[in-house]
Chain A
Amino acid sequence: MKRKASVLPGFKLSLGFAILYLSLVVLIPLSAAFLKTFTLTWAEFWQSVSAPRVVASYKLTFGASLIAAIINVVFGLLTAWVLTRYRFFGKKIIDAFVDFPFALPTAVAGISLSAIYSTNGWIGSLFEPVGIKVAYTPLGVVVALTFIGLPFVVRTVQPVLEDLSAEVEEAAASLGANRWQVFYKIIFPAIWPALITGFALAFARAIGEYGSVIFIAGNMPMVSEITPLIIITKLEQYDYAGATAVAVVMLVISFALLFLINALQWWSNRRLGHTAS
């Protein structure tokens, strides 16, 4: 097999390093989780991962993560749009605010959110009269996951929007496209891949989130218990194998979903052409 010569030297060395690095940081710890589950028989494994409480937690974790990621796609895109397209006083500061959920320890985020959204909190007390409880319900889980996922969408879409030159839109407009057509035919195809990437990152982050959610979820079995808490609970009982079994199920579902999202992105890129290069 003939390898195409690259202008950059050191292909073998850098590839070797990349694989070693990935193995040490990602693959070996993950394979340890898989290996631990092999100490279970199939029946034990199935019992661990299919108990009603565990199944209810999958639904909550994946459902709430999906809703949170969708909310973030809509409002993250809006935020990125405002930050790239308009000039206003204090823009730099607002831009910096976006990164807060990255930097804040998740436990602090969880405690702050539960303080604000509980029935005696600033926002929670507004919802209380209409009979909506946010903190200590599944809705609280969505709030926490939306909070931690926001920067992913904004930060992936923002650079693409910045690169998108206004001339293209002006050209479209001068050729008779209305505003909606400019957005739909010019801007959207360009930012679509970045938007999907942001969605996938926010979604994946939400699935694994523990620290912020446990403070606001209420953690009631069958209602507001997330899967990472189920894993912690099993560890608390020194049930290492049971914990890794649930973790493996989460990993497999997450991997399948992320694979699906990547496939969607690949498919849409082919269909729409490589507008965002």
Chain B
Amino acid sequence: MFKYLISLTVALLGAVPITVSAETSILNVSYDVSREYYKDLNAAFITYWKEKTGETITVNQSHGGSTKQARSVVDGLQADVITMNRSPDIDILHEKAKLIPKDWQGRLPNNSVPTASTPVFLVRKGNPKQIKDWDDLVKPNVSVVIPNPKTSGNGKYSYLAAWGYVVRKGGDEAKAKDFVTKLFKNVPVLDTGGRGATTTFVQRDIGDVLITFESEVFLIQKELGSDKFEIVYPSVSILAENPVALVDKVVDKRKSRALAQAYLEFHFSEKGQQIAAQHYLRPQVSATQDQFVRVFKPLELFRVESIFGSWSKAEKTHFSDGGVFDQIYTR
């Protein structure tokens, strides 16, 4: 009996690697709220690939908080491609494990950014507090729900958008700091992620304004009907880019480079861009953008780099321990 068990175990352990065939499947490690988008995109890509090469492939997905996902890849999760909502979560693959080259963003069109979103405001029906722009958020008696910038990319973008708004209006650093301090004094709950903030605002009736990605706002309206909430576009916001990358070390080992590359390029194809737009992500390839002007309100958007120099500088100044964000609460 015992021997039988051992041989069975050995057989099972031995069998596992054989069932995984190297080139016909890829793993896409992605952030949390991209599930629905990738479900559609993957189905379209599988059809496209079948027509083009005759091969039947599978695209496996892994979703979770973006930083946690990036850490898994650094620690050895065999991801062929990584699709994130902030470039630092891909940079880390180079910094911590040299899985990709430093200049990974130059390898695909538009700095490897096929889609983007932007933080906008969601207010309750009728806009009772008359929220029109960023300035209205720092008034007393206005309660604003933003996810925690320390734990959420969504929250980081909202924070940086508020800062950038002041700077672009001609304010200096002291003014911007004062503005974000006032803004976060109006925040009653700091959820750890974007979805949590949505729940707090929508289900718990907390806050007059929710600041979250446009894609999330459209989704809330679709799920709950447009009769409960109204979207307010501020005069200016930040461009929240969703970059994608091939994980070189993994695709070379699994011999899946061609497939992974084609998959990423598919993001930039017309079909890929249309699917993104259906999920309320702003297409970044200009040819497709024009088709969706009706859906996405043209808005003055600035990039992280244009105000803060680079993501790493922004992180260091604002979100590191003891940084500007911490000072809001400890001063």
Question: What residues of chain A have their CB less than 8 Å away from a CB belonging to chain B?
Answer: 48, 51-53, 111, 114-115, 118-121, 135-136, 214-215, 218-222, 229, 232-239, 242
Contacts and interface: CB of A to CB of B under 8 A. Distances in A.
B67 A53 contact: no
B329 A220 contact: yes
B109 interface: no
B189 A242 contact: no
B191 A219 contact: yes
Interface in B86-100: 92, 96
A219 B204 contact: no
Contact of B151 (A53, A120, A236): A236
- Top-6 shortest CB links A-B: A221-B329, A118-B204, A219-B190, A120-B205, A218-B189, A236-B67
B203 interface: yes
Contacts of B206: 118-119, 136
B: interface residue count bin: 20 to 34
Given A215-B196, A236-B67, A237-B320, A135 B151 contact: no
B319 A237 contact: yes
Given A48-B321, A215-B196, A238 B92 contact: yes
A52, A119, A222, A237 — which one has the most chain B CB atoms within 10 A of its CB?
A237
A233 B322 CA distance: 13
Contacts of A121: 204
Contacts of A233: 148, 150-151
A114 B68 CA distance: 25
A237 B190 contact: no
Given A120-B205, A135-B204, A222 B329 contact: yes
A22 B203 CA distance: 44
Contact of B321 (A114, A229, A238, A239): A239
A197 B53 CA distance: 65
B71 interface: yes
Contacts, number: 76
A52 B330 contact: yes
Contacts of B315: 237
Nearest to B316: A237
B188 interface: yes
Contact of A238 (B71, B151, B203): B71
Contacts of A232: 151, 192
A222 B330 contact: yes
B226 interface: no
B133 interface: no
Contacts of A238: 67, 71, 92, 96
A39 to B, nearest CB: 14
Interface string B39-71: 000000000000000000000000001011001
A237 B311 CA distance: 13
Given A48-B321, A114-B204, A237-B150, 5 more contacts: A115-B204, A135-B204, A219-B148, A235-B71, A238-B67
A239 B95 CA distance: 13
Contact of A229 (B189, B192, B203): B192
B110 interface: no
Contacts of B96: 238
B199 interface: yes
A218 to B, nearest CB: 5
A74 to B, nearest CB: 30
Interface in B206-235: 206
B204 A53 contact: no
Contacts of A222: 329-330
A114 B191 CA distance: 12
A173 B199 CA distance: 57
B188 A119 contact: no
Nearest to B88: A238
A135 B67 CA distance: 27
B326 interface: yes
A242 B320 CA distance: 11
A236 B150 contact: yes
Contacts of B68: 235-236
Interface in B296-331: 315, 319-322, 326, 328-330
Contacts of A115: 203-204
B189 A219 contact: yes
A234 to B, nearest CB: 7
Contact of B204 (A120, A234, A235): A120
26 contacts: A51-B326, A51-B330, A53-B326, A115-B203, A118-B204, A119-B206, A120-B204, A135-B204, A136-B188, A214-B191, A214-B196, A218-B188, A218-B189, A218-B190, A219-B148, A219-B190, A221-B328, A222-B329, A222-B330, A229-B151, A232-B151, A235-B68, A236-B65, A236-B150, A237-B319, A238-B92
